[in-house]
Structure 1
Amino acid sequence: MGVSTGVAVTPVGGDIVLGEATIYSGEGKLILTGQLGDVMQESAKAALSYVESKADEFGLTKDFFKKTDIHIHVPEGAIPKDGPSAGITMLVALISAVTKKPVKRDVGMTGEITLRGRILPVGGIKSKLLAAHRAGIKTFVLPAKNEKDLTEIPREIKSSLDIKLADNVDEVIQYNFVETAKVTPLESRVSHRKKKPVTVQVSGLSG
């Protein structure tokens, strides 16, 4: 439940990076750990702002985020991480956390998000697709404006991946979430009394 996979560009090539997001009753704080750089922190804030703006669509009350703290952590905290590519990955994880809607486990993604839900192009596409192929990813969500970068990808790599091009967040959601899952408003499962936090794993990205 709630696993979301993104891809990072490292000095030695692309790699899959997993992280965690925890949601619990609080005062509306967003906590970011794992040595996330300024750009990656901004992506996390943009993801949260987008979800808040769509609270009604996700079955949440308008004051829900004032009563809930969200903690996003990317493991391997000794390694600094930065870049806008984590935007859609953190967004998918956050949606999964607040709706308790499962994410498809064989989907990888990369892309920057805007406050209005547009998906912007990012770099390192060849390295990221090679990493997704090595990791056994079946479907890869790519910003539509990165389509031109597919000409650099070996044919055998492209044939092993179902590459989806996305212009907006609605398309990202469509490709990532289990279709039969029902959205459960978080108010029905998170009490604002002390309770064990709900933990959702999410990927962090760089590049």
Structure 2
Amino acid sequence: MGRPRFTPEAHERTSVPGVATGLAVTGMGGDVLFIEASVHDGPAGLTLTGQLGDVMKESAQIALTFVRAHAAELGVDPAFLDRAIHVHVPAGATPKDGPSAGITMVTALTSLATGRPVRSEVGMTGEVTLNGRVLPIGGLKQKLLAAQRNGLTEVFVPLRNEPDLDDVPADVLETLTVHVVGDVLDVVRGALSPAATTAAAA
């Protein structure tokens, strides 16, 4: 049969904390988009790379502000975020824009700050507000087709996009567990790997 046309890579990419799998729409249809976050010592600030447009840059700022403001609920040490933070969206030669990576950015930053990797089978899409509401996005059908094609089995989508699930082929929905969410805290709780127990960490 030759080499597979698509090689699922979410498992490898999300094996370390700070990487989350988003769902996007391109001129070629749906695709997965990896959001990578890292931190290093230096003046507190946010660096963004990956040829991001203004709306996507604003989404990253909102995501960081939300994680800082809700550190206690997310299990994050606030001091961890008072450093130099870098958010990168690979495929750097491809311009990217739009607000629908908001919940993915919150998840990636929380994963980084808690040391808990994002579960490899999970993808997500949704705009996030400063108070954590998940707003609707476009292209849901194409995004879920991409999730299935890339080997994901669980997706988080905005509650207000629930009617759009009627347009998604039944055979695609049969392979995906779709969580409709209105609060980004529910995304983070469901997407992150369980925290290591004290015994396991010892």
TM-score where L is the length of structure 2: 0.85
Q: Once superposed, what is the RMSD of the aligned Cα atoms?
A: 1.6
1:52 aligned partner: 68
2:22 aligned partner: 6
1:22 aligned partner: 38
Instruction: Specify the SS of the correspondent of 1:174.
Output: helix
2:193 aligned partner: 178
Deviation at 1:180, TM superposition (A): 4.3
Residues 115/16 of structure 1: CA separation in 2 closer, same or farther (3 Å cut):
same
Sequence identity percentage: 48
Q: Over residues 97-155 of structure 1, what are the superposed CA-to-partner deviations in whole Å (9 max), with x where a residue is unaligned? A: 11111211100000000010110000000000000010110101010110000010111
Question: What is the count of residue pairs matched by the alignment?
Answer: 181
Richer in helix (by share) = 2
Give the Cα separation in 2 of the matches to 1:166 and 1:182: 28
2:113 aligned partner: 98
Q: Is the 2:76–2:113 Cα contact (8 Å) retained in structure 1?
A: no
Instruction: Specify the SS of the correspondent of 2:48.
Output: strand
Residues 180/22 of structure 1: CA separation in 2 closer, same or farther (3 Å cut):
closer
Q: Is the 1:102–1:181 Cα contact (8 Å) retained in structure 2?
A: no
Matched, 1:166 2:181: yes
Q: Over residues 46-72 of structure 1, what are the superposed CA-to-partner deviations in whole Å (9 max), with x where a residue is unaligned? A: 0000011022332414x5533x01001
Give the Cα separation in 1 of the matches to 2:55 and 2:131: 18
Instruction: Specify the SS of the correspondent of 2:60.
Output: helix
Tell me: higher relative CO, structure 1 or 2? Use CA pairs within 8 A at least 6 residues apart.
1
Q: Is the 2:35–2:108 Cα contact (8 Å) retained in structure 1?
A: no
Amino acid of the residue matched to residue 130 of structure 1?
L
2:132 aligned partner: 117
Q: Over residues 59-100 of structure 1, what are the superposed CA-to-partner deviations in whole Å (9 max), with x where a residue is unaligned? A: 414x5533x010011122221100011101111000011111
Instruction: Specify the SS of the correspondent of 1:20.
Output: strand
Deviation at 1:28, TM superposition (A): 0.8
Deviation at 1:11, TM superposition (A): 0.6
Q: Is the 1:101–1:182 Cα contact (8 Å) retained in structure 2?
A: no
Give the Cα separation in 2 of the matches to 1:148 and 1:49: 30
Deviation at 1:4, TM superposition (A): 1.3
Matched, 1:138 2:138: no
Give the Cα separation in 2 of the matches to 1:149 and 1:181: 37
